[in-house]
Amino acid sequence: MQNLKIDGDRLWNSLMEMAKIGATEKGGVRRLALTDLDRESRELFARWCEDSGCTVTVDRVGNMFARRPGRDPSKEPVMSGSHLDSQPTGGKYDGAYGVLAALEVVRTLNDAGVETEAPVEIAMWTNEEGSRYAPAMMGSGVFAGVFSTEEVHAKIDTEGKSFGEELRRIGYEGGETPGDHPADSYFECHIEQGPILEREGVPVGVVTDANGQRWYEVTVTGVESHAGPTPMETRKDALVGAAQMISLVNEIGLNNLPNACATVGMLEVYPNSRNVIPGQVFFTIDFRHPDDTVLSRMDTALKAGLARIADEIGLQLDRHDLWYSPPIPFDPDCVAAVRRGAELHGHGHRDIVSGAGHDAVYMARMCPTAMIFVPCEGGISHNEVENATREDLAAGCDVLLHAVMERALRTGAS
């Protein structure tokens, strides 16, 4: 078992093949959840899994599972996977690496004729990104019982298309009840999406914890009027209010360093005409921190600050607390298996906390879970220039192979 290694070229070629689906001119991918491109990536994934002897099932929110049988079908599967949907200006590796690294583990086990005790199963989660349909980690969230199938199906995108109708349109509303699918453990490979591993020259990140997140949607309403004759002192300018609120978000992030992150990613101005004082502004807020107490403190400061600014300018404030995903520790035994995999394969490694959310965050509620990070160039992700090296991607996949085999070859009660 110890000297078994994955085929790095095959993994790389699969990544490049998958990256053709939704490829953008700048070298990234645009493969939004539940679009025809999502369907195309699912079909390629399913074909590759079936070619590798797996049986593919789909649940009611489109999560896909490709199971490689083990000697004992009564044992719960050792799962590994990630997502294939991307950001609008996403990269080739965010998500796809975790799905295709899991497939490479299956292909390697097939080549070596390894029969595991427990089944090995690849998971492909619907709408991890939360870009077209918010919040993020939606498919794994339903699987973990955080969201209901019905509430997720009812979500609508900016064009008014519902999750459920789009899922049916692409043909991926399966019959399995989400979460009715026990698992022994779950491992996810992912690029770090931050600068630490590259900066330290370390190829493998042993992910011990994941940040907590709080997402908000804010609508500020003032009075739209003529930009010319309306005196400054009488204005109720929604954009001036939003601008002060956006500065507040940034300030809250800076006041909670070194681990806080605070981002306004979406902003819509109404009526968005150069000579009309904006009457309404919509924007989103994304807070992150590994310590729940600090995340709560950021939440309190935000709510007080938004109300103060709205009051000072005489604006109506509507704040929707969209999503809260608490910080989580990953399973010590699975984390140790990842560390052992790195050591056995002679790959440098260091413990690291995930700044990004991942499906593993919700799988950690269902079974022992851990993650494996590899560096990405400049720490850049959610950007079409996202890049990673063939060697690092292979190193992370070797570690995944070890962790999966360690769990799936165990005999006796799992």
Q: Which is nearer to ligand HGY, 128 or 166 (CB)?
A: 128
Q: Which residues contact 262 (CB under 8 A, 6 or more apart)?
A: 249, 250, 252, 253, 254, 285, 286, 287, 288, 298
Q: How far is the CB of 43 from ligand HGY (least distance, A)?
A: 23
Residue 135 makes contact with ligand HGY by CB under 6 A: no
Q: How far is the CB of 186 from Mn ion (least distance, A)?
A: 15
* Among Mn ion, ligand HGY, none, residue 59 binds (CB under 5-8 Å by kind): none
* Among Mn ion, ligand HGY, none, residue 130 binds (CB under 5-8 Å by kind): ligand HGY
Residue 166: what residue type? E
* Among ligand HGY, Mn ion, none, residue 95 binds (CB under 5-8 Å by kind): Mn ion
Q: Which is nearer to Mn ion, 94 or 331 (CB)?
A: 94
**Collapsing DSSP states into helix, strand and coil, what is residue 217?**
strand
Locate tokens 């339903």: which residue?
A: 142
Locate tokens 């002897």: which residue?
A: 53
- How many other CB atoms sit within 10 Å of the CB of residue 16? 11
Question: CA end-to-end span of the chain, whole Å?
Answer: 19
Q: Which is nearer to ligand HGY, 205 or 357 (CB)?
A: 357
Kindly indicate which of the ranges 88-96, 152-160, 240-248, 311-319 contains the residues binding Mn ion, using the contact rule CB under 5 A.
Answer: 88-96
Residue 129 makes contact with ligand HGY by CB under 6 A: yes
State the Cα–Cα distance between residues 147 and 150, nearest whole angstrom: 8
Own/partner long-range contacts of 293-299 (Cβ < 8 Å, ≥24 apart): 294/256, 294/259, 294/260, 295/212, 295/214, 295/326, 295/327, 297/256, 298/214, 298/252, 298/253, 298/256, 298/260, 298/262, 299/214
Which residues does residue 371 pair with via DSSP β-bridges, in sequence order? 188, 207
- Do residues 305 and 252 touch, judged by C-beta distance below 8 A? yes
Q: How far is the CB of 262 from Mn ion (least distance, A)?
A: 18
Residue in 28, 70, 119, 130 binding ligand HGY, rule: CB under 6 A: 130
| Token output for 35 | 């679009």
Residue 128 makes contact with ligand HGY by CB under 6 A: yes
332-369 CB burial, b ≥16 within 10 A, e <16: eebbebbbebbeebebebeebbbbbbbbbbbbbebbbb
Residue 356 makes contact with ligand HGY by CB under 6 A: yes
Kindly indicate which of the ranges 5-13, 55-63, 129-137, 163-171 contains the residues binding ligand HGY, using the contact rule CB under 6 A.
Answer: 129-137
Chain positions 91 to 120 lying near Mn ion, rule: CB under 5 A, are: 94-95
Residue in 22, 178, 253, 357 binding ligand HGY, rule: CB under 6 A: 357
**Collapsing DSSP states into helix, strand and coil, what is residue 251?**
helix
Q: Which is nearer to ligand HGY, 128 or 398 (CB)?
A: 128
Residue 192 makes contact with Mn ion by CB under 5 A: no
Q: Which is nearer to ligand HGY, 222 or 357 (CB)?
A: 357
Q: Which is nearer to ligand HGY, 101 or 361 (CB)?
A: 361
The contact set with ligand HGY (CB under 6 A) reads 128-130, 136, 356-357
